[in-house]
Amino acid sequence: MHDVFVSYASQDQGAGSAAYQFLKNKGLQSWMAPADLPPALADAMKDPEKDPAELYAVFLRDSFPECRVMVCVLSRAAAQSPRVRQEIERATAKKVPLVPFRVEEGPLGDLENELRPFPGVEAWAGEVEDHLPRLEALVRQLLPAPTINLSIDGQSVQVPPGTTIYDAARKLGIDIPILCHREHMNPVAVCRVCSVEVRWGPKPTDRRDRVLAPACYRPVENGMFVSTHHTSCDVRKAAAMVTELLMSDHPTPCARHAEHHDCELELMAVKFEVAGGRLHGRTLERGRDQSSDVIAVDHAACILCDRCVRGCNDIRNNQVIGRMGKGYQARIAFDLNNTMGDSSCVSCGECMVSCPTGALTHREEVQSHAWDPRGPRPEPISADDLVNHPFFKNGSHKFLSWHAKSVVRRHYKKGDVICHQGEFGSTAFYIEQGRVDIFLESRPQPPRAAPARASPAGCAA
């Protein structure tokens, strides 16, 4: 199967080969009708009783290879030959897109109208060389998207080129652990917990890549045989080792795990049965930053996954967070290494929801106390319930499952106070049943001092 078949009427060979050569140089697998006509055809075309364009069309039909797009470079005369029209019909009926027609001079006039009934046919006036970049764009647009065939844990899958191994595995329902990656972020492959083994054949003796590949980053290739931690001991050991190294340097439980039991690193340590205590972490104190009104930073819990960096810069376009330092001293930083409170941070919270650990959490003052046992007992709501709830209906199930524990249901009695003015955290409510009264407190305000007027330099106040 070829991408493109370039055909031309005999008098258009120069233009045909220009189109063919251009497409071939652009990496499109192309085939061109032979320049040397079979002697019998060449003789027949000299016969004044016969229409050379018609003869050529028959020849094309017989030598037409399997192709995805057909490019016809024809003169006006050839394009108007009934037999060539039949060939166009045949190609369009087979849904083989056809482009373009060259006419030597002048506007297309009637020819354009005559060709309009054929879907996918474009007629261009002028020399074919003037249209080559447009021709390439058109051919690429018409080419059906190729697919890549590979096998993951013994299951075959077809995906478009450019897909990562991680996304191809998701298509099969195979879970590959990730830490520095999220489906909505550009992968950076800094943690390597998603490592997989890549072989180039089904047998264990077949050639294997020298190193494990990060599934979140590595694009699929035809003929890959991928083994994840489900089927490869080497991969499982590698993921466990990376987790153990990260855990050796991670306060356990971190603020997030202590509060919500969902630090992604600590959950991964449970998954890979990493006991801890075997490796020593760094002794260097990395410190905390409590300067922001809403977000607490614990550098010790940071695993340098860069999710906050991408959340702040790529997703929110706030350009506040980056990295500073090297080796043991590497850490995230705000602006020019300011404290978070002194930086240009707008407290959008994207970095915090992106962070897999307790390195970025709500300040105690603004903590959501959804699970606070004071008041009516909180009831958990599953992501399935949330996605069917009128308020969250049609929300992303994945997003709701990440945040499922942030939403609870409570039953209040008449006279109970749900929230006091000025409180932080747990202050968004959806009243499912009943009626609530809202009282606005109006306390007497102290009289305001008149603002001091700045006097121009050198003038008396």
- Which phi-psi region, left, alpha or beta, contains residue 100 (left: φ > 0; alpha: ψ -120 to 50)? beta
- Minimum CB separation of residue 336 from ligand SF4 in Å reads 14
Binder of ligand FES out of 4, 88, 135, 180 (CB under 6 A) = 180
Q: Can you tell me whether residue 184 is helix, strand or coil?
A: coil
**Residue placing its CB nearer to ligand FES in the complex, 53 or 247:** 247
Determine the Cα–Cα distance for residues 426 and 269; give it in Å rounded to an integer. Answer: 30
Q: Edge-to-edge strand order for the sheet containing 295-298?
A: 288-289, 295-298, 360-362
- Minimum CB separation of residue 17 from ligand FES in Å reads 47
**Residue placing its CB nearer to ligand FES in the complex, 12 or 167:** 167
Determine the Cα–Cα distance for residues 308 and 321; give it in Å rounded to an integer. Answer: 7
Task: Please report, as residue ranges, which positions from 211 to 240 form the binding site for ligand FES (by CB under 6 A).
Answer: 214, 216
Name the binder of 52 from ligand SF4, ligand FES, none, CB < 5-8 A by kind.
none
**Residue placing its CB nearer to ligand SF4 in the complex, 87 or 306:** 306
- Minimum CB separation of residue 455 from ligand SF4 in Å reads 38
- Minimum CB separation of residue 192 from ligand SF4 in Å reads 14
Determine the Cα–Cα distance for residues 388 and 212; give it in Å rounded to an integer. Answer: 41
Residue 52 Cα distances to 60, 82, 102, 389, angstroms? 12, 12, 18, 71
- Minimum CB separation of residue 185 from ligand FES in Å reads 10
Name the binder of 216 from ligand SF4, ligand FES, none, CB < 5-8 A by kind.
ligand FES
- Minimum CB separation of residue 191 from ligand SF4 in Å reads 9
Binder of ligand FES out of 179, 224, 246, 274 (CB under 6 A) = 179
Determine the Cα–Cα distance for residues 409 and 321; give it in Å rounded to an integer. Answer: 36
Name the binder of 354 from ligand FES, ligand SF4, none, CB < 5-8 A by kind.
ligand SF4
The answer to whether the CB of 301 falls within 8 A of the CB of 289 is no
List the one residue out of 288, 278, 282 whose CA is nearest residue 255.
288
- Minimum CB separation of residue 239 from ligand SF4 in Å reads 18
The answer to whether the CB of 29 falls within 8 A of the CB of 68 is no
**Residue placing its CB nearer to ligand FES in the complex, 16 or 187:** 187
Rule CB under 6 A: is residue 196 a binding residue for ligand FES? Answer: no
Counting residues that bind ligand FES (by CB under 6 A) gives: 12
Name the binder of 355 from ligand SF4, ligand FES, none, CB < 5-8 A by kind.
ligand SF4
Taking residue 27's Cβ as centre, other Cβ atoms within 10 Å add up to: 9
DSSP symbols for 161-172: TT-BHHHHHHHH
Determine the Cα–Cα distance for residues 456 and 266; give it in Å rounded to an integer. Answer: 60
Q: Which residues bind ligand SF4 (CB under 6 A)?
A: 295, 302-308, 311-312, 316, 318, 320-321, 332, 345-351, 354-357, 359-360
Q: Which neighbouring-strand residues pair with 101?
A: 123
**Residue placing its CB nearer to ligand FES in the complex, 192 or 199:** 192
**Residue placing its CB nearer to ligand FES in the complex, 265 or 320:** 265
- Minimum CB separation of residue 145 from ligand SF4 in Å reads 34
Task: Please report, as residue ranges, which positions from 365 to 424 form the binding site for ligand FES (by CB under 6 A).
Answer: none
DSSP 137: H
**Residue placing its CB nearer to ligand FES in the complex, 19 or 360:** 360
Name the binder of 304 from ligand FES, ligand SF4, none, CB < 5-8 A by kind.
ligand SF4
Q: Can you tell me whether residue 456 is helix, strand or coil?
A: coil
DSSP symbols for 250-265: S-SS-HHHHHHS--HH
Binder of ligand FES out of 191, 300, 308, 366 (CB under 6 A) = 191
Stretch that binds ligand FES, among 44-52, 92-100, 172-180, 392-400 (CB under 6 A): 172-180
% helix, strand, coil for the chain, step of 5: 35, 15, 50
Tokens 């490869």 found at: 232
Name the binder of 178 from ligand FES, ligand SF4, none, CB < 5-8 A by kind.
ligand FES
- Minimum CB separation of residue 238 from ligand SF4 in Å reads 20
Name the binder of 400 from ligand SF4, ligand FES, none, CB < 5-8 A by kind.
none
List the one residue out of 351, 346, 347 whose CA is nearest residue 298.
351
DSSP symbols for 348-406: --HHHHH-SSTTEEE-GGG---TT-SSSSPPEE--HHHHHHSTTTTT--HHHHHHTGGG
Stretch that binds ligand FES, among 178-186, 230-238, 356-364, 397-405 (CB under 6 A): 178-186
Determine the Cα–Cα distance for residues 259 and 266; give it in Å rounded to an integer. Answer: 13
**Residue placing its CB nearer to ligand SF4 in the complex, 4 or 295:** 295
Name the binder of 214 from ligand SF4, ligand FES, none, CB < 5-8 A by kind.
ligand FES
What residues make contact with ligand FES under the rule CB under 6 A? 178-181, 189-194, 214, 216
